[in-house]
């Protein structure tokens, strides 16, 4: 029975891992193809060794070093860790929410044996993803004739694997102790993003460099494994953190009363119990039929919203303060960075305050945070209801399938707007506190375009879920498209052959007009809205024509 839980979990999670790791491998291939056509040797001869180490670029292997650094140290690490977080958060809390944990325990298995099987599957699936990335890194340079001198592929893949396990087991521990899948995944994503920023930015300032060691991400990137090989001290630190988080989960799974089905009281329940807000919430909730679907959806994801909106608000306040602490010498130096290096941070000019905000918030952190919410909501909107066998309950009310989709989409729009607003307010407040001049209108434009871009990928996840009825396929497929879209926006413009294709990326519609400097691009915003509306409209016939699973 132990092996059944193990193999079932691997079967359920293998598709998402394959999509994610293959997408990163394809981007490595494209990245090397782009960099191969660029004469970058002159630039890097003039960059200080400290900057080369910071970006993970070894001497004598410029093209390969930049490609591996951009695709694996950043995108690959985020992808592998994100998939591990999803597995860890679902392992126990997800089974509880779906009402299937009792079925697992109906076999001659203890709670802890189930946890062991789940943990073993998390390690195995993550290892498979790492092996796929390792294979791409070995094969692609040979295909393209790229020199890999000075690149330690094995070291960076091992570091990525161990880094992913840290966040996966953190999500497992939090979700197991609380029984809340959204809390486990949201908190782990928060620790990952804050750790990435802390480990990347703090070393720039001499007085703050030692504080970078408090973040787990430092032990992944701090030793620059792609350049320097395996650092056994950092490897032991990552392994020790993973074991510690697993031990917490191992203790928690036996101590807590597990739920057969989620019965948490939501914030809406609490507001309806308060006499001061009961009337308003009753009017919002409406009847016991159609109008409650959007409230139900919002209730399911409220924990994830609170965490992600909180992340963006706090980071928005923090980044302007960090910028004020960066030495002037560094801001002068980045003006000389070649385009190939700037592409790693979404093409942002980090020598200006607006460019720094784009690089540290709007290029990577904010999109990752927002896409976590919109993709999850879109994937589970229809396919998730089928998998939890609650679709029949919803459709037993006198509503159409179109109305059901509309209610789900309304909740997604509200959540995306809330995260966009939190990003705007946090960054605006941070700029005021730090005394950095910034255009409020431009900040608002960037946040609106961010929201619309997130909705596009949420709409894609909704359409895939409507077409196939599998939330993991919908979320994994959309995440893969999002990764490829970011790569197209950032790296395709570096090559004449690839540059025209960059305009097809939603990221190009989002940041291509440089809204933090130039303000709102109304045409780009209209296109993003049209694409989102088209995807939602497409999901209606896809959902109506498919036989739903009971």
447-483 pLDDT, tens digit each: 999 999 999 999 999 999 999 888 888 988 898 899 8
Residue 511 has pLDDT above 70, yes or no: yes
**Average pLDDT score over the chain:** 80
CA 347 to chain centroid, in Å, comes to 20
Residue linked to tokens 């998998």? 387
Q: What is the mean pLDDT of residues 136-146?
A: 84
Backbone angles phi, psi at 47, to 5 degrees: -90, 140
Mention every residue, 6+ apart, whose C-beta is less than 8 A from residue 409: 381, 459, 462, 536
What pTM was estimated for this model as a whole? 0.73
Q: Which residues contact 347 (CB under 8 A, 6 or more apart)?
A: 339, 363, 489, 490, 493, 511
Q: What percent of the chain has pLDDT over 90?
A: 29
First to last CA, the chain: 26
> pLDDT higher for 223 or 426?
426
d(CA 177, CA 96): 12
pLDDT in tens, 513-533: 889 888 999 999 999 999 999
Is residue 53 pLDDT above 80, yes or no? no
> By C-alpha distance, which of 235, 226, 230, 233 is closest to 53?
226
Nearest to 176 by CA among 248, 81, 239: 248
Residue 215: what pLDDT? 92
Q: Are 548 and 405 in contact (CB under 8 A)?
A: no
CA atoms of 511 and 524, how far apart (whole Å): 9
pLDDT at 287 over 50: no
Residue 115: per-residue pLDDT: 85
- Orientation angle between helical segments 232-255 and 111-144, nearest 10 degrees: 150
What whole-number distance in Å separates Cα of residue 200 and Cα of residue 345? 12
Over the Cα atoms of the chain, what is R_g?
23
Q: Which residues contact 490 (CB under 8 A, 6 or more apart)?
A: 343, 344, 346, 347, 507
* Residues in Cβ contact with 548 at an 8 Å cutoff, skipping those fewer than 6 apart: 386, 391, 469
DSSP string, 478-536: HHHHHHHHHHHHHHGGGSTTTGGGGGGSHHHHHHTT-HHHH---HHHHHHHHHHHHHHH
Rounded Cα–Cα distance for residues 340 and 183 (Å): 38
Residue 290, pLDDT > 50, answer: no
Structure tokens at 43: 């630039």
Q: What is the mean pLDDT of residues 308-327?
A: 84
The DSSP letter of residue 231 is -
Please report which confidence band the pLDDT of residue 2 belongs to, taking 50, 70 and 90 as the band edges: very low
Please tell me the distance from the alpha carbon of residue 344 to that of residue 359, in angstroms, as a whole number: 9
For the cut 80, the answer to whether the pLDDT of residue 57 exceeds it is: no
Q: What is the pLDDT of residue 284?
A: 45
What is the pLDDT, as a whole number, of residue 173? 93
How many other CB atoms are found less than 10 A from the CB of residue 152? 19
Q: Measured between alpha carbons, how far is 404 from 294 in angstroms, rounded to an integer?
A: 9
Q: What is the pLDDT of residues 491-509, one digit of tens each?
A: 777 777 777 888 889 999 9
How far apart CA 268 and CA 286 sit, in angstroms, is 13
Report pLDDT for 59: 47
Torsion of Cα atoms, 538 then 543 then 546 then 547, to 10°: 180
Distance CA 477, CA 497 (A): 26
CA distances from 462 to 37, 97, 146, 292, 544 (A): 38, 21, 40, 19, 13
Pairs from 42-45 (Cβ < 8 Å, separation ≥ 24)? 43/336, 43/337, 43/338, 43/340, 43/341, 44/338
> What is the rounded distance in angstroms from the CA atom of residue 263 to the CA atom of residue 431?
42
Confidence label for 244 from pLDDT (cuts 50, 70 and 90): very high
Q: How confident is the model at residue 276 (pLDDT cuts 50, 70, 90)?
A: low
pLDDT tens across 354-397, in order?
888 887 889 888 998 899 899 999 998 888 888 777 776 777 67
Question: Crossing angle of helices 77-89/153-178, nearest 10°?
Answer: 30
* SS3 per-residue string spanning 409-449: HHHHHHHHHHHHHHHHHHHHHHHHHHCCCCCHHHHHHHHHH
Cα atoms in the 13 Å half-sphere on the side-chain side of 89: 19
State whether residue 351 is helix, strand or coil.
Answer: coil
pLDDT score for 216: 93
280 has pLDDT over 80: no
**Measured distance CA(137)–CA(28) in Å, rounded:** 8
- The answer to whether the CB of 308 falls within 8 A of the CB of 314 is no
| pLDDT given for residue 172 in this prediction | 93
pLDDT at 258: 55
Q: Give the C-alpha separation, 491 to 66, whole Å.
A: 11
CB 152 within 8 A of CB 225: yes
CB 318 within 8 A of CB 356: no
Residues 493 and 501: their CA atoms lie apart, in Å, by: 8
């Amino acid at each position: 029975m132990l092996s059944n839980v193990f193999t079932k979990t691997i079967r359920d999670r293998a598709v998402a891992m394959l999509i994610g790791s293959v997408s990163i491998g394809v981007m490595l291939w494209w990245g090397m193809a782009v960099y191969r056509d660029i004469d970058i040797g002159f630039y890097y001869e003039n960059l200080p060794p400290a900057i080369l180490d910071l970006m993970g670029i070894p001497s004598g292997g410029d093209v390969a070093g930049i490609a591996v650094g951009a695709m694996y140290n950043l995108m690959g690490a985020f992808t592998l860790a994100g998939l591990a977080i999803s597995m860890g958060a679902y392992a126990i809390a997800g089974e509880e929410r779906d009402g299937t944990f009792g079925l697992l325990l109906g076999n001659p298995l203890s709670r802890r044996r189930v946890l062991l099987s789940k943990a073993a599957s998390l390690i195995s699936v993550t290892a498979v993803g790492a092996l796929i990335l390792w294979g791409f890194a070995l094969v692609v340079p040979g295909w393209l004739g790229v020199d890999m001198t000075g690149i330690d592929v094995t070291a960076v893949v091992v570091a990525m694997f161990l880094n992913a396990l840290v966040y996966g087991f953190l999500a497992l521990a939090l979700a197991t102790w609380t029984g809340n899948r959204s809390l486990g995944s949201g908190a782990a994503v928060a620790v990952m993003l804050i750790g990435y920023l802390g480990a990347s930015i703090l070393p720039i300032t001499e007085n703050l460099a030692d504080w970078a060691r408090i973040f787990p991400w430092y032990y992944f990137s701090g030793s620059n494994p792609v350049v320097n090989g395996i650092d056994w001290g950092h490897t032991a630190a990552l392994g020790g953190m993973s074991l510690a988080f697993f031990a917490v989960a191992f203790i928690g799974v036996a101590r807590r009363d597990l739920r057969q089905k989620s019965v948490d009281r939501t914030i809406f329940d609490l507001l309806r119990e308060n006499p001061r807000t009961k009337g308003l919430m009753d009017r919002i909730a409406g009847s016991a039929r159609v109008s409650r679907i959007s409230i139900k959806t919002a209730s399911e994801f409220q924990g994830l919203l609170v965490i992600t909106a909180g992340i963006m608000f706090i980071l928005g306040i923090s980044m302007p303060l960090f910028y004020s602490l960066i030495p002037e010498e560094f801001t002068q130096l980045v003006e000389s960075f070649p385009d190939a290096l700037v592409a790693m941070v979404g093409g942002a000019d980090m020598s200006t305050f607006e460019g720094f905000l784009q690089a540290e918030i709007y290029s990577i952190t904010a999109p990752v945070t927002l896409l976590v919410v919109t993709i999850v909501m879109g994937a589970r909107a229809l396919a998730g209801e089928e998998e939890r066998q609650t679709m029949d309950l919803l459709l037993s009310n006198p509503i159409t399938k179109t109305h059901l989709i509309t209610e789900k989409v309304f909740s997604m729009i509200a959540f995306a707007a809330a995260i966009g607003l939190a990003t705007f307010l946090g960054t605006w407040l941070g700029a005021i506190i730090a005394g950095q001049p910034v255009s409020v209108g431009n900040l608002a434009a960037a946040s609106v375009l961010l929201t619309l871009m997130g909705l596009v990928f949420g709409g894609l996840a909704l359409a895939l879920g409507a077409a196939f009825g599998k939330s993991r396929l919908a979320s994994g497929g959309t995440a893969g498209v999002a990764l490829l879209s970011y790569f197209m926006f950032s790296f395709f413009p570096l090559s004449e052959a690839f540059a025209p294709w960059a305009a097809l990326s939603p990221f190009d519609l989002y940041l291509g007009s440089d809204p933090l400097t130039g303000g709102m691009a109304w045409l780009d915003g209209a296109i993003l809205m049209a694409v989102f509306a088209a995807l939602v409209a497409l999901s209606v016939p896809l959902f109506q024509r498919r036989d739903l699973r009971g």
